[in-house]
C-alpha cells in the first residue's frame, strides 16, 4: 500500500511537472490523504472479521469465547497489544507478537469500549512513585503468583503466571485492573497502581550485587548449582588428586 502510494505520488510528481508549482504540492497532499482515509480501520469491521467467531458478532460471547460486554478498553488493549488475542491454540493465552498494527488495535479497542461500561486504558505516571509502597503492595498481592522477583510461576492446571520482564508499563497497569485469564482484577488507587508498576519496572533492572541470579527463583536452581558446579568440580579435583585404580599396582587377577 505504502509502496504503491509512493509510486503513485512519484509518478504524479513527474507527470505533473509541467503544471503550476503551487497546485503541485496540494495534489500530492490530497493523494496522501486519500490513501490514509482508505486505511482508517473500522473497528467493528475488524471485530466481525477477526473476533466474532469466538466472541460473537456483537461481543456477547459464544461457547468458544467469553462475552466482552463491560470488559472495557483496558482489557481489549491489553489482550491485543500483548498479542494474547487472537488466541493461537486452546489453553492459556500467552504473550506473542501482536496480530494487528497499532492503528487496527486502536480501532478494535475503541469498538470494544463501546460494548458496555468497562475500565479505560489507565494512565501510568511513575513520577514520584514510591518504591517502598510498591514493594509492599507487590509482595502482598502479586508475589504469590508471580514470585517475589517477578519471574512467574505455575498456578495450577497448566495456567502460568508469566514472568513480568516483558510487559510495558501500561500493560502492567491494564493487567492489574482487568485481571486477564486466571488473574483476578484489583481495585487500587491511582497512586498505588503507579507504585506497583514502578516496582515491577525496578525489578528488571535491579542490581544483583551477589553475582549471577540463576533465575531468581531461589533454592531450586541453587541446589542444582551446588551439586553440579560445587560438588561436581570438587569430585573432578578429587579424581585428579587421588588414584583411580582401586589397586595400586597390577590387579590380583
Site for other proteins in 179-238 (CB under 8 A): 179, 181-187, 199, 202, 208-214, 216-220, 222-223, 225-227, 229-231, 233-235, 237-238
Angle of helix 72-81 versus helix 102-113 axis, rounded to 10: 150
Q: Which is nearer to other proteins, 43 or 178 (CB)?
A: 178
Which one of residues 139, 166, 190, 191 is an interface residue with other proteins (CB under 8 A)?
Answer: 139
Q: Does 149 bind other proteins (CB under 8 A)?
A: yes
Stretch that binds other proteins, among 10-18, 72-80, 104-112, 132-140 (CB under 8 A): 132-140
Q: How far is the CB of 189 from other proteins (least distance, A)?
A: 11
153: β partners: 161
Number of residues that bind other proteins (CB under 8 A): 73
Q: How far is the CB of 119 from other proteins (least distance, A)?
A: 10
Angle of helix 131-141 versus helix 190-205 axis, rounded to 10: 90
Q: How far is the CB of 57 from other proteins (least distance, A)?
A: 24
Q: Does 156 bind other proteins (CB under 8 A)?
A: yes
**Chain centroid, CA 190 distance in Å:** 21
Q: Which residues of 22-58 are buried (b: 16+ CB within 10 A; e: fewer)?
A: eeeeeeeeeeeeebeeeeebebbebbeebbbeebbee
Q: Which is nearer to other proteins, 13 or 186 (CB)?
A: 186
Q: How far is the CB of 111 from other proteins (least distance, A)?
A: 23
Q: Which is nearer to other proteins, 100 or 199 (CB)?
A: 199
Residue 17 is given by DSSP the state T
Q: What is the number of other CB atoms lying within 10 angstroms of the CB of residue 13? A: 14
Stretch that binds other proteins, among 21-29, 37-45, 105-113, 242-250 (CB under 8 A): 242-250
Query: Is the distance from CB of 112 to CB of 55 less than 8 angstroms?
Result: no
**Closest C-alpha among 218, 88, 244 to residue 149:** 218
Amino acid at each position: 500500500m505504502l509502496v504503491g502510494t509512493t509510486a503513485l505520488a512519484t509518478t504524479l510528481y513527474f507527470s505533473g511537472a509541467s503544471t503550476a508549482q503551487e497546485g503541485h504540492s496540494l495534489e500530492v497532499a490530497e493523494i496522501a490523504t486519500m490513501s490514509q482515509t482508505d486505511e482508517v480501520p473500522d473497528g467493528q469491521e475488524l471485530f466481525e472479521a477477526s473476533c466474532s467467531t469466538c466472541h460473537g458478532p456483537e461481543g456477547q460471547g459464544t461457547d468458544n469465547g467469553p462475552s466482552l460486554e463491560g470488559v472495557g478498553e483496558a482489557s481489549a488493549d491489553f489482550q491485543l497489544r500483548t498479542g494474547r488475542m487472537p488466541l493461537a491454540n486452546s489453553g492459556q493465552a500467552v504473550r506473542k507478537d501482536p496480530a494487528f498494527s497499532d492503528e487496527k488495535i486502536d480501532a478494535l479497542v475503541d469498538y470494544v469500549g463501546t460494548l458496555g461500561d468497562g475500565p479505560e486504558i489507565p494512565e501510568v505516571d511513575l513520577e514520584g512513585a514510591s518504591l517502598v509502597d510498591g514493594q509492599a503492595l507487590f509482595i502482598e498481592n502479586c508475589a504469590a503468583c508471580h514470585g517475589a522477583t517477578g519471574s512467574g510461576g505455575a498456578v495450577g492446571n497448566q495456567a502460568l503466571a508469566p514472568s513480568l520482564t516483558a510487559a510495558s508499563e501500561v500493560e502492567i497497569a491494564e493487567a492489574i485492573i482487568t485481571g486477564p485469564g486466571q488473574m483476578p482484577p484489583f481495585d487500587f488507587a491511582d497512586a498505588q497502581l503507579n507504585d506497583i508498576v514502578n516496582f515491577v519496572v525496578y525489578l528488571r533492572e535491579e542490581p544483583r550485587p551477589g553475582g549471577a541470579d540463576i533465575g531468581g527463583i531461589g533454592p531450586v536452581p541453587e541446589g542444582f548449582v551446588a551439586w553440579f558446579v560445587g560438588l561436581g568440580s570438587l569430585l573432578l579435583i578429587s579424581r585428579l588428586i587421588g588414584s583411580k585404580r582401586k589397586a595400586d599396582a597390577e590387579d590380583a587377577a
